Amino acid sequence: MEAAKLVPLPPGSISEYDKDIWDVCNLGMAAQPATGDRQLNFTRIPQHWLRQAAKQFIRYTLATLSFGSARTRLSALKKFATFLAQFYPLLQPIEINRALIMQYLSYLHTCGVSSSSRAGLIGGLNSFLSLSARYGWAVLPPEPLIFREDYPRPKKQCHATFPQKYWSNFTSI
């Protein structure tokens, strides 16, 4: 896990963090080893307040987790931004409440994403909401809005065992 390193800026330059598309190599991090991907793109978050708070959240994620975690969390915020743009285009952050989160959970269910993907989207949003409220990145309600029971249950895998008493029938053939 590689945390972000601060790189001094040349005089007169714009901080990478102020841009809407970040090149992580300009933040002192390496590109994604498997894909060579090196960008974090915030342009698909149309809500100004959400984009600015998302940048703070992703900057925090780069410093504490990894580039891969930052990409996953950014994807969660883009999905939430899409939901808000479609159903609540004028919503302000303080208006986010449990009823809206319940609608978002239903929306995710209708998007055709797998249970594990839904869990990741919910987890990313939950982290964003709680950290944004804690650090003041957006004016959000202070109470928790997402709970453990909001996550999809993992599908139980069937690990059937073949009874030993029947095994001899196959080995004698």
Question: What's the CATH superfamily of 16-152?
Answer: Tyrosine recombinase, N-terminal domain (1.10.150.130)
CA-CA distances (angstroms) from residue 45 to 41, 73, 108? 9, 13, 17
- Rounded-to-integer distance, Cα 173 and Cα 171, Å: 6
Domain boundaries along the sequence of the chain:
16-152
Which spans in 65-140 are helix H? 67-87, 98-110, 115-135
Please tell me the chain's helix, strand, coil percentages from 3-state DSSP, rounded to the nearest 5. Answer: 55, 5, 45
Q: Band of the pLDDT at 48, cuts 50, 70, 90?
A: very high
The vertex-15 CA angle with 10 and 18, nearest 5°, equals 165
Region for residue 157 given its phi and psi (left: phi exceeds 0; alpha: psi -120 to 50; beta: otherwise): beta
Position 36 scores a pLDDT of: 78
Answering whether pTM is above 0.85, one says no
| Span 114-149, pLDDT tens digits | 999 999 999 999 999 999 999 999 999 999 999 999
Q: Can you say whether the dihedral through the CA atoms of 59, 63, 68, 73 is positive or negative?
A: negative
Q: Residue 160: is it exposed, middle or buried by C-beta count within 10 angstroms (0-12/13-18/19+)? A: exposed
**Structure tokens of 58?**
């992703």
| Span 70-93, pLDDT tens digits | 999 999 999 999 999 999 999 999
Q: Residue 34: is it exposed, middle or buried by C-beta count within 10 angstroms (0-12/13-18/19+)? A: exposed
Q: How many helices (H) and strands (E) does the chain have?
A: 5, 2
